[in-house]
Amino acid sequence: MASAPNSKYNTRSLENESFKRASRDGVNRDLGEAVPRLPGETRITDKEVIYICPFNGPIKGRVYITNYRLYLRSLEMDSAPILDVPLGVISRIEKMGGATSRGENSYGLDITCKDMRNLRFALKQEGHSRRDMFEILTRYAFPLAHSLPIFAFLNEERFNMDGWMVYNPVEEYRRQGLPNHHWRITFINKCYELCDTYPALLVVPFRATDEDLKRVATFRSRNRIPVLSWIHPENKTVIVRCSQPLVGMSGKRNKDDEKYLDVIRETNRQISKLTIYDARPNVNAVANKATGGGYESDDAYHNTELFFLDIHNIHVMRESLKKVKDIVYPNVEESHWLSSLESTHWLEHIKLVLTGAIQVADKVSSGKSSVLVHCSDGWDRTAQLTSLAMLMLDSFYRSIEGFEILVQKEWISFGHKFASRIGHGDKNHADADRSPIFLQFIDCVWQMSKQFPTAFEFNERFLITILDHLYSCRFGTFLYNCESARERQKVTERTVSLWSLINSNKDTFRNPFYTKEINRVLYPVASMRHLELWVNYYIRWNPRIKQQQPNPVEQRYMELLALRDEYIKRLEELQLTNSAKLSDSSTSPSSPSQMLPHVQTHF
């Protein structure tokens, strides 16, 4: 302050915090070793570099590269690691400067990451010193281009819990009360012959035969026929998902498809119309006719009502997130921050996705209509809408395992193209297929958890961990585009599931304020006034945004968790003694659980 009266108040002393945080996961760390290694991780090379930290300036250090990560240790400072980055997050590696460039630190590598940051390293100019680092990084960050395996196939980690056991479709449908009189489980897609991007097991109307399904498949984009995602336990209305009908310019019709939708409607007697939510903007749906797609018209589908939800396509979302990165990394836009945030439209897209999901949930919860959701192919916006609506409707999905099942079911098994959207191990950073659709879904979940702080069993770190491993390639969970490909590659046998890591360390991911409430439908407020940028994710690399060392808060939350466990145990004891007393007197009409409405928390 004395030396620079014009400098603004600064939070420099907190800046080291972010580095320490980056290196905390379930890794066993050998103190004698320079780099922490996972079982199956091998060291490839190391090199002295200058890390150009956008916040603290150049730092001299040694970079270690393994077949899984890039790790940086400072030469000057204590042993705290500065960077610990899985190579999977790298989307692009560029050389900056040439052998003759002038200026300090002008020669080196610039690495663009998928998680909202860039890493810059400066190297010595003499002797092409960056060449081998560039080549090794390129080879291990983009193994697909070099006929190398993705790290998940080399990972030999073992966990107490097997995450691959979390999702069993038969069990999940049984939990929903399926099959029943109106819905049956079909194995028609057992060998992925009906639809190669759908799971093997599908739930379809009881009255539709397998032959019907085959005929309907011909009229739906990529054969993604309408199948059940969720059924309301009481009013029995359903959420059904599919792709667009192949109407085309000539306005083709398909009697089987029309009949099939009517069969879906009729699974519920009281319903006179089936509601169709087309996730796209109206004009996009019309434009899709030119490429053979389209939407359900009134005259062909009599007992339906069609609404467009105005959610934009993957390209719009990708550009919007790019703009967010522009205003938060490396430097955050300070003047007119809110206006620049607005100009990215990111929160507006979040709002539209949430609004759409609320409409779906509301329709189903009211019992007035079953809902059919589709977009174009039914694997991006459709997955967002069905999974968010299910999260609003069904409190089971708000538990840690429930959420894993939701992701496993609506996203992974139903063929959200993770490989294409994320580009695992692929060097083509400009691929137009890449898009942050799943990130956007997780952001929506975060917005909900902000608005309902006691409704979710998991905490923010759970969501961030999922996103980190969406890119890391340490686990097999998000690899490949669909179930058939995963089966061909024997992913469940050859890789570890992310849920193994999470379920073996559940306490780290628990929300201490979670209060389980069955049958409570959550309607978040999707107004711009109530949405906020997820600063702890999008701007987490910037130390100036950090408020407090995360540790005391987390420690307190852990204490709270312990307290809550204790509390619940004591309550159960109380209830036991109470019910013992009650059965003695057998006069009291109220059960102990009714006496304590808020505390039916369980584990």
Footprint of other proteins on this chain (CB under 8 A)? 1-2, 5, 8-9, 11, 13-14, 328, 332, 334, 336-339, 341-342, 347-348, 351, 451-455, 512-513, 515, 522-525, 527-530, 532-533, 535, 539, 544-548, 552-553, 556, 560, 563-564, 566-567, 570-571, 574, 596, 598-599
Burial status of residue 328 (CB atoms within 10 A of its CB: 0-12, 13-18, 19 or more): buried
180 annotated to bind ligand: no
Helix (H, G, I), strand (E, B) or coil at 404: helix
Q: Tokens 């960050």 — which residue?
A: 141
Minimum Å distance from CB 529 to other proteins?
A: 6
Measured from the Cβ of residue 104, the count of other Cβ atoms closer than 10 Å reads 9
- Spatial distance between the Cα atoms of 43 and 64, rounded to a whole number of angstroms: 8
Start-to-end CA distance of the chain, whole Å, equals 52
Which stretches of 124-245 are DSSP H helices?
131-141, 169-175, 210-217
**Which residues, listed in sequence order, are joined to residue 63 by a DSSP beta bridge?**
47, 72
- The H or E element containing residue 74 is strand 69-74
221 annotated to bind ligand: no
Strand 304-308 relative to strand 371-374: parallel, antiparallel, unpaired? unpaired
392 near 522, Cβ under 8 Å? yes
DSSP state of 66: E
Choice between 15 and 162, CB closer to other proteins:
15
378 annotated to bind ligand: yes
Minimum Å distance from CB 361 to other proteins?
A: 13
- Spatial distance between the Cα atoms of 239 and 231, rounded to a whole number of angstroms: 6
DSSP state of 420: I
Minimum Å distance from CB 532 to other proteins?
A: 7
Minimum Å distance from CB 451 to other proteins?
A: 4
Choice between 269 and 598, CB closer to other proteins:
598
Give just the sign of the alpha carbon dihedral 236, 237, 242, 246. positive
376 annotated to bind ligand: yes
**What b-and-e string marks burial along 54-87, b requiring 16 or more CB atoms within 10 Å of the CB?**
eeeeebebbbbbbbbbbbbbbeeeeeebbbbbbb
Minimum Å distance from CB 401 to other proteins?
A: 22
314 annotated to bind ligand: yes
Full strand arrangement of the beta sheet holding 238-242: 227-231, 238-242, 371-374, 274-278, 304-308
| Pick from 279, 265, 341: nearest CA to 314 | 279
Minimum Å distance from CB 338 to other proteins?
A: 4
Choice between 65 and 526, CB closer to other proteins:
526
375 catalytic, yes or no?
Answer: yes
Q: Which of 375, 444, 473, 482 is catalytic?
A: 375
Helix (H, G, I), strand (E, B) or coil at 585: helix
Choice between 63 and 357, CB closer to other proteins:
357
Choice between 151 and 397, CB closer to other proteins:
397
Minimum Å distance from CB 547 to other proteins?
A: 4
DSSP state of 282: H
Choice between 351 and 486, CB closer to other proteins:
351
313 annotated to bind ligand: yes
Q: What count of residues does the chain have? A: 603
Minimum Å distance from CB 531 to other proteins?
A: 9
What are the phi and psi torsion angles at 82 (to 5°)? -95, -40
Choice between 146 and 569, CB closer to other proteins:
569
Helix (H, G, I), strand (E, B) or coil at 373: strand
Choice between 291 and 331, CB closer to other proteins:
331
379 annotated to bind ligand: yes
- Spatial distance between the Cα atoms of 433 and 414, rounded to a whole number of angstroms: 18
Residue ranges at the known binding site: 313-314, 375-381
| Catalytically annotated residues | 375
Residue ranges at the known binding site for substrate: 313-314, 375-381
